[in-house]
Every structure is written in structure tokens, then in C-alpha cells.
Chains A and B, each alone.
Chain A
Amino acid sequence: MTADERARMRDVLRSAVGQARLPGAELRHPGPFVRPSVDPKDLAERFTRELTALGGSVHEARGVADVVAIVRGLIPDREPKVMVWDERHLPLPGIGAALAAAGLTILTQEPATARSAQHRRELASASLGLTGADAALAQTGSLVLASGPGRGRLASLLPPVHVALVRRSALIGSLPELIASRPELVTQGANFVAITGPSRTADIEHVLARGVHGPRDVHAIFVD
């Protein structure tokens, strides 16, 4: 915005604010508001219950082999392509190599190829996206992902199945609690998302249909 445009905006708004009749308005910011939501010992149980109620699934894996088996079981294709976050952002070392050894084609995203239509078409053909998760919200069954280098947004969005590897330490009660304790996470990358279950719509006759534009299946795997 130019300085002139900005001055004009301020002038218009300042005069409007000066005359505004806003019931209940206090000039001072009312401060933060957050309440503990879920008993710390119930976090995993509540997260599982909430995500399952939304049509998602929660698994436990004891190591790389378990994750490969779960992922393999979710992909029916002959030549399965999988979009995977950079391994340094996944809580299981060696998972990329293990998936490749299991016959999966690993698709990754690089800054240089972000604008290539051909690359995007290939990404759109992936049958599963594998990501980590920065937090898991027990109150809502949500997976929280901050974007960044090697942590693309499309892996949790384009494929029909999204699998997130979750450390138990990432569990927290609710979004307000997460943001109160780690506000910087929201703006760490250009995108911050809380994913609460599979993509859904009820636009036609209020009948629920899953997998409209995003994944129809969402799986969280606890890896520790």
C-alpha cells in the first residue's frame, strides 16, 4: 500500500471509530482467554475417540516396519505413488528408504518445481500422503501441521489418503492451549493448518459425503 492509500484508510476508519456505538466495547484489549480442556492422562484416548468419530483412524506402530505395513495396507494400486515429507521432519528415521524398499514410488516437493504443471499433475496422481504433525489436539481430534522446507502442504491435501506420524509428546488439549504455549508455531511457515478429520461436505440435501477435495481417509499413527 502506498503511504497515501494508508493515510486515507486510517482517516476513514478513525472517524468511523470515533462515532461508533459499540455495546460492551472496552478500550483495553480484554487479554488472553484459555481454559484447560482435557485431563493430561486422557489425551491419547480423547484424541482417538474424537478422530474416530469423524471417520478418521488412529493406529499404533512400534517401528518402521509397522508403519510400512499400515501404509501398504492403505494403498491398493499396482504402482503406488506416495507423497512424503522430507525425512528430517518425520519422527521415524529410515521410513523413506523402507517405503521405497517396499515398492512405493516416493514423490517429494522442491521449491524449484513448485510451479511446474507437469509436476503438479504427478503429485495429484499420488494415492497417499505421509506427513508428520506438529501437534495433535485431543479436544477436537485435529492434526496440526506447519508448512516449511520439506514439509509441503499438498501431501496432506491432494492424495485421497493422508497418514500422519505422531509423537505422543505432540498431544495437547485444544487449539487455544496450543497457541497459548507455542504462538510462534502459527507463523513459523507460510501455512498453519489444523486438520479435523477427513474432507467432507453436506451441501447437497445435508447428506454427508467424504473426500470432496481433500483426503477422504485420515490416519494418525502414534510412533512411540
Chain B
Amino acid sequence: MNVELKPFDQRTAEALADDQLRTTLRTVTTAILGFRKAGLGRLDDSDAWRDHARRLRAHTLSRLDTYLDQFVSNVEARGGHAYYAATAADAVRYVRDLATSKGVKVAVKSKSMVTEEIELNHHLESAGVKVVETDLGEYIVQLAHDRPSHIVMPIIHMNRQQVADLFRAKINATDADLVDIPAMTQLARRVLREEFVNADMGISGVNFAVAETGSITTCTNEGNGRLCTTMPRIHVAMMGIERIVPTVQDLSVMLQVLARSATGQNLTVYTNVVTGPRPRDGDGAEGDGPDEFHVVMVDNGRSRVLGSELAEILYCIRCGACLNTCPVFHQIGGHAYGGVYPGPVGAVLTPAFEGLDAFHELPQASSLCGACKDVCPVRIDIPRMLLKLRADSVDAGKSPWWITYGMRTLGWVGVRPRLFRWAGGLAARATRAMATDGWIRKMPGHLSAWTKSRDFPAMAEVSFQEQWKKKPSSHRKREETRFPGERP
């Protein structure tokens, strides 16, 4: 993927030039963070729920082999089919072959990040299957040939006028259809209802799969997820292999924190649990639901990440809170991250999945302020992993030459106190020479990037070390204090 990905600098520059995008991001994410706080506030002892949710994620991944195996047994016991897809290509092939062999013409889809990851739509379309996204935001993304820019709010980067223009161009919307957002929503309902009636296959994501029952759960607000898993004769659920919980009781713990962290809702409107296809015979026969149920467990690099120091990122339950709180995301939005998963979680996931070659800048797209870790419902230490990735990219020789050599020189000078003091004095004089009123407005060379948006202070007349030496020894609490490398 990302064959035509623009360089990171260019992506961020474009995003930063889009004032409207930044205004929207700021407004919406601020509102959502407020809802999140209120939502968690309504849950007694929310910290204990979050702690337990974290324990569950950690435990489950430490026994992932056992739980996935148990899940497969239970899916099959309820008449469903399970498939482990080692790669994106395997996952695509399974779904495409299924669609082709069953004569599927139309597939309706509810929101699923993992299908974005494996580019399922594209592959099904080229096999002659019409794929219709049915989540309102994803439908708009599909009509616009765009990409979602937020895990939970796919079109956070678009405004109503852009959506109205799109509806006019693509689905012959009239002025009455576009009078306000509820009217636009009703138009989408009408158009998509027809697709639901005709569809042969429903493709859904999976928020949580339950090992002890073989169930999958989707958490949606619009109802399209329920329709996708109910109306078509074949239901295919697409899940990342890490999306599993051991028991239904554990599922209820995760549900307590997911929606509250994502949008501040107590629960999403439809917390939808599917266990197998509809029973068709005997006393238990049901009047609706799919005749076939397939679940595709997508690995696509996850087992490799699990076996690495970045395994903790697999605790993620895709609530999007780290995006909403991130000062960098506020400025550049989701598309600038370049991967399927934006924001702080994406800054770890994308390089972990795709490698540092194309994405070594992403771990730098963070101020390491730790806000992501604070809001994470399962308290993932994202800053730790960003630092690890930064170290990896330095080891892999990804830093610019002037940083590499600059740091090497600094390190060399730093352990030679005389040289360090001399160089410090030189630098102090240089900064004072460049400064006006104690501030440097423009630094030379590469350092000018720093002074583009802020001033740099000139260094003090008397250095700390000089001040320290002049102090009477009685004021020095610890006489034995020595600087690194200094001889007694």
C-alpha cells in the first residue's frame, strides 16, 4: 500500500495549510473529550474498570494461541466458519473466493478498520463484486474516493458543504435532500436501504470476539452494523487476531469503557453480539439472520508485533481517545499520518506493521506529552513505544546526517569537562552576539527551523558552573558533588 504516499514533510505541510481542517479538528475533538470525561464520570470507579480492562487485554494476549483456538472451536460448534489469514493477501483471497463461489453480486459493509488495512473493497471490486460502505461517514468516504481520517469519525476532515456537493454529484441529491444534516442523513438512509435489501453478503468488523462462545460483537450507532449482520444471506466478520476476550463477562467489562472513551456514550446504540448463522431447522429456527457465518481472523503482521517490544500496542480497543487528545493530531489531522491508523496509536502501529523505512518520521510526530497514555482506557504506554521506535530509527540510520554527527560530537565533548566548558563559553558568546535584547530572532542553517515560530534565548553571562564555583563552600550541601568525568 501507500505506493504514491507523499513525503511526511509535505503531508504535514499540506495539513497545516488547511485552516478549516484545524478549526474543525479543534472544535470536534474538544467536544468529544468533554463527552468522554463526562461519560467516564458517570461510571462509578471508572479507574477500576479501566485497570481491569487493561489486565484482561494483557492476559488475553499472553494466551492468544489458546484463546483463538478455543474461539475457532466454538465458532464451528455453532455452525460458523473460521479462517486464519496469515497475510492481507490470504484474507482477501478467502473473502474473494467466497464471494465468487457463492455468486455474490452486492456486498454491504459496516465499519471495519482491518478491511481498510487489507484494502478489501478494492480487491472485491476488481473481482466484480459491488461493495457498498453503509456507515454514513464511510459511505461518504467511498463516494469521494477518499480515506477515513479518524478511527471513530471517518470524515472529521469534511464539512457539510463538501458532503452536499458530493451527494449532488454522485447520488442526484435535490435541494430538499440537502437542506440540513438530518435531511442529508435521510437521503443516505433511503439510498442504502435499497442496497441492504439486495445485498447477498454483509461484511462487518469486530470490536470483540468471545473465545468461550465463538461470538463476535459490533458496536455501532447507526444500525448499519446490525443490518449488515442480519439481512444478507452470508455474513463475513473481519477481525484482527488480537480482538479477542476470553468470556462474555469479560466482554461486558470492555464494553463499559469502550463507548465512554470513544464518544462519551454509556454504550453505543447497538451493542450487537452474533453467534453463528441463524438456526434454520427444528424448533430453534429463526426468521431472519444470515444462512452462513464466516469469521476471518487477520494476522497481517500482528503476531510479529506480539513477539516484539511493541506488543503493548495490541491492547488497543480502537476508541480513538488518543487521537482526540493529541496536540499533534489537532494540528495535522489523520491523513498526514499516511497509514490506516492515525494519531498516536497509528504512530506506533503503522511503523510496527509497515516498517520504519517509509514511516520513520511518525514516531517523531509527538511531543511525548503523555496525554495519549492518560486518556487510554487500557492505559497503553504509547510514549514508551514512540521512544523505542525513535531509538530503532536512529539505529537503522534514519536520522539526518547533521543530527547523527551533531549528537555524536556533543557526546564526545560532553565527557571532556575542559573542552565542554570551553565550548560552552564559545557558544554562550556566540548566542549573545546574535541576540538583540537577549533573544535570537533567527538562527543560522538547519537551526533556523527552530526560530521560524519562536525566539531562542541568548545564554547567560555567567555559566552555572562558574556560579557554582564562586559559592562559599559552606553553601554547598554536597561537597562531594562532581561532574561526570571530573577528577577529584
Contacts and interface: CB of A to CB of B under 8 A. Distances in A.
Interface stretch (A68-76, A163-171, A195-203): A195-203
A124 B255 CA distance: 30
B287 A109 contact: yes
Contacts of B186: 211
B293 to A, nearest CB: 8
Interface stretch (B50-58, B356-364, B396-404, B473-481): B50-58
Interface in A167-224: 174-176, 178-180, 183, 186-187, 189-207, 209-215
A157 B227 contact: yes
A60 to B, nearest CB: 23
A19 B136 contact: no
Contacts, number: 314
Contacts of A152: 286-288
Given A1-B72, A10-B69, A204-B163, A16 B64 contact: yes
Nearest to B55: A30
Contacts of B246: 29
A26 B78 CA distance: 30
Contacts of A21: 308-309, 311-312
A142 interface: yes
A160 to B, nearest CB: 9
A150 B287 CA distance: 7
B286 A111 contact: yes
B83 interface: yes
Given A27-B63, A30-B56, A198-B269, A212 B249 contact: no
Interface stretch (B112-120, B187-195, B330-338, B409-417): B187-195
A206 B153 contact: yes
Interface in B312-327: 312
A183 B134 CA distance: 31
Given A17-B64, A190-B275, 15 more contacts: A10-B69, A23-B381, A30-B59, A111-B280, A157-B227, A175-B271, A186-B210, A187-B215, A189-B286, A190-B286, A191-B274, A206-B153, A212-B136, A212-B222, A214-B226
10 contacts: A20-B61, A114-B288, A139-B266, A148-B286, A175-B252, A190-B278, A194-B271, A203-B135, A204-B160, A205-B28
